[in-house]
């Protein structure tokens, strides 16, 4: 893989303008197809094979007028009675019935004494059902709906959209978050690199990859149902990893340039080493996210698929587009002071090849070992036990709130009051009770051969049984199909959709009440569907954890040929994910500081949030594990000193990893500006996870653990070693081949020279393991680069 990536990097750098034009053409084509044939996004929480899905299938087959996806049109009279505008309301609901995809539309004044009119007479609601998920309908459809209800608004009534109707045309608007996140990333990159060119290049690559990835997702949405939050989650993750991958590549590229390599050679080496780590880390993230299909829930799986597509495109951009950008920029990615030093070296006639690459690497290792991060790593390594115990205790304390985790659904009551769905929710809750915002539907199949009189007795008894059940505020009259085979009864709970008591009511109806009815029955509706959704996700969560941890274990086993490194990584990553869960529970479920991000209620945690967080956060943790340990392993292979290799690895990567983590935290945190509470949860949870992982885990627990393990960290039983392939992420073997080729070329040159002494001396220096003293005049910044680009 390293040889292929080296060749790919060199090709992209040499043919930089052609590669850039290909990327521009591909992006333009994707944007064009997206505009013409792009699909829409919709939240479909149905779980195949669940009781609610089975009941809905019965309705769609035998009673389609009662099937579909329900919504409410809420009418409120600011003054007087809403019945004074009966004609306007009837006209509005009749116009709504004419819209595409509407199965049925019912006015609150269709029958005298309708329960759809509040007792105080100021508020009423009409019901609408669609044959598609309303959230998948676009802004133009919302405009058509506004036009349909205009007669009621013209009559002075306030008209709001509740339930499914409130989800129409609600596209995510993430531009502000994206601008803030990218601006913070630019500032951090400028601070790290001291070069505007080096800072801008990863951002340009990130923009290309995220736009291309999101276009692919939107095009695929014409065939696959993606959730409405899929573009936001994919953008949130895609921006973070794309900038980080570009950062890792350009950091290694600058290091190579400072060692005197030419641009094309440096790009190839960077792609072969850091690029290989990007491929492995990015592949781990993609596979971990695709593991969400283990949930058995299409909603969760497709959410992971959208994010995986964007991450995969980010990896492709990192190994093709980034090398092209680096080729275009040439030496200008270096800091200004380094460029100035290089010019002075060229003016003085210093020859870049006067010192071997091995000696320069040794000098770089010595510099890494003296960096502040390496000194911190040695401080932890000198007393690993207390540091490991202290850091573990901190993580365990952060994990404690998970014991009180409550999975549930979010309703429109958590939306901002600027949304029509929230205003409709409040009107219904105030005038009809909170349960009407999440009504349940009980579907009853009348046994074959039952007479109409016996069917009526059966349904009347069912209505009475449901009405006497604790937690039920009211039961509507049975609606039966023309064949007298299927009936539907609307059950209004006393509590709102997100209340735990409503979930308990659904379970009680299914487990205790309906089994006493002498007919097949089902509890359906949005609330019942989400109960099934939550149960399914919770049931499959252990399988996801097992699968992702097992995959990560095998990856690290192959990558580093060690048995204890994967075990350590799995334990530490699980601790960091658990700590992130604890932060989410404390902020959103307990309300600690949630007002600062616009959440003023204590919320349950949607079931898919912990599952999605686990897949993403574990994958990102593996990113940092691979980048750090690949440099540690590189030092271990070169020096054979376990403690020194940790110092080299931390000194060489900590600054980059810390900056990368800070960028991710900034990007993720910027998405708390979203109005969607679910996006806020993901933003806070993922930002906390990255912060915890990059600080407590990477800077304390990893050096402590590596010190405690010592040489045993790289132990692998012989019987495992025999069948384990050698992945060689850091490209040690590939770099050794290049060094051997250089020495062979130098030997050929020496044999043709009159004396042949100088190349032999250079070869001896190339094999030296000791750091080159700073007085030798061979520090990285004193080397004048070759201009081979």
Confidence band for 369, pLDDT divided at 50, 70 and 90 = low
For residue 315, what is the enclosing H or E element?
helix 298-329
Distance CA 342, CA 47 (A): 63
Confidence band for 783, pLDDT divided at 50, 70 and 90 = very low
pLDDT of residue 133: 81
pLDDT digits (tens, 9 = 90+) for 478-498: 888 888 899 999 999 999 888
754 vs 312, which has greater pLDDT?
312
pLDDT of residue 762: 37
For residue 307, what is the enclosing H or E element?
helix 298-329
The tokens for 686 are 């993922």
pLDDT digits (tens, 9 = 90+) for 237-256: 888 889 889 988 988 888 88
Pairing of strands 407-408, 605-606: parallel
Confidence band for 778, pLDDT divided at 50, 70 and 90 = very low
Under 8 Å CB-to-CB from 124, ≥6 apart: which residues?
Answer: 74, 75, 82, 83, 89, 108, 109, 114, 116, 117, 118
HSE (side-chain half, CA atoms, 13 Å) at 657: 29
Pairing of strands 123-130, 69-76: antiparallel
Confidence band for 342, pLDDT divided at 50, 70 and 90 = low
The torsion angles phi and psi of 103, rounded to 5 degrees, stand at -85, -45
Angle between helix 263-290 and 2-14 (nearest 10)? 120
pLDDT for 772 beyond 60 = no
DSSP secondary-structure letter at 767? T
Confidence band for 781, pLDDT divided at 50, 70 and 90 = very low
pLDDT digits (tens, 9 = 90+) for 614-631: 888 887 777 777 778 777
Confidence band for 506, pLDDT divided at 50, 70 and 90 = very high
For residue 491, what is the enclosing H or E element?
strand 486-493
Distance CA 292, CA 617 (A): 13
Domain positions in the chain are: 2-15+173-336+356-408+536-723, 65-167, 440-524
pLDDT of residue 348: 59
pLDDT of residue 736: 62
777 vs 500, which has greater pLDDT?
500
pLDDT digits (tens, 9 = 90+) for 572-608: 889 989 999 999 999 999 999 988 888 888 889 998 8
Under 8 Å CB-to-CB from 485, ≥6 apart: which residues?
Answer: 62, 445, 446, 448
Under 8 Å CB-to-CB from 247, ≥6 apart: which residues?
Answer: 189, 192, 202, 656, 659, 660, 663
Q: Residue 149's closest CA among 214, 89, 72?
A: 89
Three-class HEC string of 29-98? HHHHHHHHHCCCECCCCCCCCCHHHHHHHHHHHHCHHHCCEEEEEEEECCCCCHHHHHHHHHHHHHHHHC
pLDDT digits (tens, 9 = 90+) for 700-716: 898 888 888 888 888 88
% of the chain surpassing 70 pLDDT? 87
Give me the CATH code for the 2-15+173-336+356-408+536-723 domain, please.
1.20.1640.10
- C-alpha of 575 from chain center: 19
What average pLDDT does this structure show over 34-55?
85
Distance CA 410, CA 221 (A): 24
Query: What length does the chain have?
Result: 789
The tokens for 474 are 């009211």
DSSP code per residue over 542-584: HHHHHHHHHHHHHHHHHHH--SHHHHHHHHHHHHHHHHHHHHH
The architecture CATH gives domain 440-524? 2-Layer Sandwich (3.30)
pLDDT for 776 beyond 50 = no
Confidence band for 787, pLDDT divided at 50, 70 and 90 = very low
What average pLDDT does this structure show over 145-159?
94
Hunting for tokens 């750098």 — which residue is that? 13
Confidence band for 368, pLDDT divided at 50, 70 and 90 = low
For residue 102, what is the enclosing H or E element?
strand 102-106
pLDDT digits (tens, 9 = 90+) for 89-113: 999 999 999 999 998 899 999 888 7
Q: Do domains 2-15+173-336+356-408+536-723 and 440-524 have the same CATH topology?
A: no
Decide: 323 and 757 in contact? Cβ < 8 Å: no
Range 65-167 has CATH code 3.30.70: yes
Distance CA 784, CA 789 (A): 15
- C-alpha of 359 from chain center: 42
Q: What is the chain's mean pLDDT, rounded?
A: 83
E strands present in 544-696 = 605-606
Confidence band for 732, pLDDT divided at 50, 70 and 90 = low
| Cβ atoms within 10 Å, residue 457 | 12
Hunting for tokens 């130098």 — which residue is that? 746
Confidence band for 114, pLDDT divided at 50, 70 and 90 = confident
Exposure b/e, 400-415, CB count within 10 A at least 16 = b? ebbeeeebbbbbbbbb
DSSP secondary-structure letter at 160? E
For residue 346, what is the enclosing H or E element?
helix 336-347
Helix (H, G, I), strand (E, B) or coil at 475: strand
Hunting for tokens 């040489």 — which residue is that? 711
pLDDT of residue 590: 93
- C-alpha of 11 from chain center: 32
Tell me the C-alpha to C-alpha distance, in Å, between residue 446 and each of 59, 65, 465, 480. Answer: 13, 17, 16, 10
Under 8 Å CB-to-CB from 342, ≥6 apart: which residues?
Answer: 331, 334, 781, 783, 784, 785
Under 8 Å CB-to-CB from 512, ≥6 apart: which residues?
Answer: none
């Amino acid at each position: 893989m390293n040889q292929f990536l080296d060749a790919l990097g060199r090709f992209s750098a040499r043919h930089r303008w052609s590669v850039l034009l290909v990327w521009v053409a591909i992006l333009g084509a994707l944007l064009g197809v997206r505009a013409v044939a792009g699909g829409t996004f919709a939240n479909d929480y149905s779980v195949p094979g669940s009781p609610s899905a089975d009941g809905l299938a019965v309705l769609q087959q035998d009673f389609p007028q009662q099937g579909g996806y329900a919504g409410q049109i809420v009418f409120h009279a600011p003054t007087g009675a809403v019945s004074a505008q009966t004609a306007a309301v009837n006209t509005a609901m009749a116009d709504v019935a004419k819209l595409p995809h509407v199965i049925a539309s019912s006015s609150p004044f269709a029958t005298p004494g309708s329960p759809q009119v509040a007792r105080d007479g100021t508020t009423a609601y009409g019901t609408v059902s669609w044959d598609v998920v309303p959230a998948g309908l676009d802004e133009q459809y919302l405009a058509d709906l506004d036009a349909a209800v205009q007669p009621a608004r013209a009559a002075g009534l306030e008209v709001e959209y509740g339930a499914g109707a409130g989800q129409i045309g609600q596209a995510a608007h993430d531009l502000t978050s994206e601008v803030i996140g990218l601006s913070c990333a630019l500032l951090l990159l400028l601070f790290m690199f001291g070069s505007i060119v080096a800072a801008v290049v990863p951002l340009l690559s990130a923009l290309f990859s995220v736009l291309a990835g999101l276009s692919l997702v939107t095009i695929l949405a014409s065939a696959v149902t993606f959730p409405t939050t899929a573009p936001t989650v994919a953008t949130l993750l895609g921006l973070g990893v794309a900038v980080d991958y570009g950062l890792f590549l350009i950091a290694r590229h600058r290091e190579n340039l400072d060692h005197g390599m030419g641009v094309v050679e440096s790009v190839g080496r960077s792609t072969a080493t850091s690029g290989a780590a990007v491929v492995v880390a990015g592949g781990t993230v993609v596979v971990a996210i695709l593991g969400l299909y283990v949930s058995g829930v299409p909603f969760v799986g497709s959410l992971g698929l959208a994010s995986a597509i964007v991450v995969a495109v980010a990896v492709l951009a990192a190994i093709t587009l980034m090398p092209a950008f680096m080729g275009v920029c040439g030496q200008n990615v270096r800091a200004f002071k380094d460029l100035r030093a290089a010019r002075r070296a060229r003016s003085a006639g210093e020859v870049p090849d006067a010192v071997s690459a091995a000696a320069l690497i040794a000098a770089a290792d010595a510099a890494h070992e003296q960096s502040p991060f390496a000194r911190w790593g040695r401080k932890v390594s000198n007393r690993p036990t207390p540091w490991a115990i202290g850091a573990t205790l901190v993580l365990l304390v952060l994990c404690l709130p998970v014991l009180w985790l409550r999975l549930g659904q979010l309703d429109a009551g958590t939306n901002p009051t600027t949304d029509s769905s929230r205003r409709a929710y409040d009107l219904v809750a105030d005038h009809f009770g909170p349960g009407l915002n999440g009504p349940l539907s009980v579907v009853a199949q009348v046994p074959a051969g039952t007479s109409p009189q016996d069917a009526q007795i059966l349904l009347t008894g069912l209505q009475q049984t449901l009405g006497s059940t604790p937690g039920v505020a009211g039961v509507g009259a049975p609606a039966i199909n023309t064949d007298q085979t299927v009936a539907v009864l609307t059950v209004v709970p006393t509590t709102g959709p997100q209340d735990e008591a409503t979930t308990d009511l659904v379970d009680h109806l299914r487990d205790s009440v309906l089994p006493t009815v002498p007919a097949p029955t089902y509890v359906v509706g949005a609330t019942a569907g989400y109960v099934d959704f939550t149960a399914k996700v919770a049931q499959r969560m252990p399988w996801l954890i097992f699968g992702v941890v097992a995959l990560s274990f095998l990856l690290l086993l192959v990558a580093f040929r060690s048995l204890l490194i994967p075990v350590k990584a799995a334990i530490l990553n699980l601790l960091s994910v658990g700590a992130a869960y604890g932060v989410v529970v404390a902020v959103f479920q307990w309300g600690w500081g949630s007002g600062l991000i616009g959440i003023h209620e204590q919320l349950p945690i949607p079931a898919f949030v912990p599952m999605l967080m686990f897949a993403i956060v574990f994958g990102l943790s593996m990113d940092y594990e691979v980048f750090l340990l690949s440099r540690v392993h590189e030092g271990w292979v070169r020096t054979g000193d376990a403690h020194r290799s940790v110092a080299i690895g931390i000194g060489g990567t900590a600054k980059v990893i810390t900056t990368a983590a800070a960028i991710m935290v900034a990007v993720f945190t910027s998405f708390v500006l979203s109005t969607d509470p679910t996006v806020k949860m993901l933003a806070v949870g993922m930002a906390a996870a990255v912060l915890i992982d990059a600080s407590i885990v990477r800077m304390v627990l990893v050096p402590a653990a590596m010190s405690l393990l010592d040489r045993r960290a790289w132990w692998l039983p012989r019987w495992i070693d025999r069948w384990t392939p050698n992945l060689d992420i850091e490209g040690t073997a590939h770099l050794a081949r290049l060094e051997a080729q250089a020495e062979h070329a130098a030997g050929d040159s020496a044999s043709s020279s009159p004396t042949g002494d100088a190349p032999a001396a250079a070869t001896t220096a190339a094999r030296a393991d000791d750091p080159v003293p700073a007085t030798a005049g061979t520090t990285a910044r004193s080397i004048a680069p070759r201009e081979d680009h």
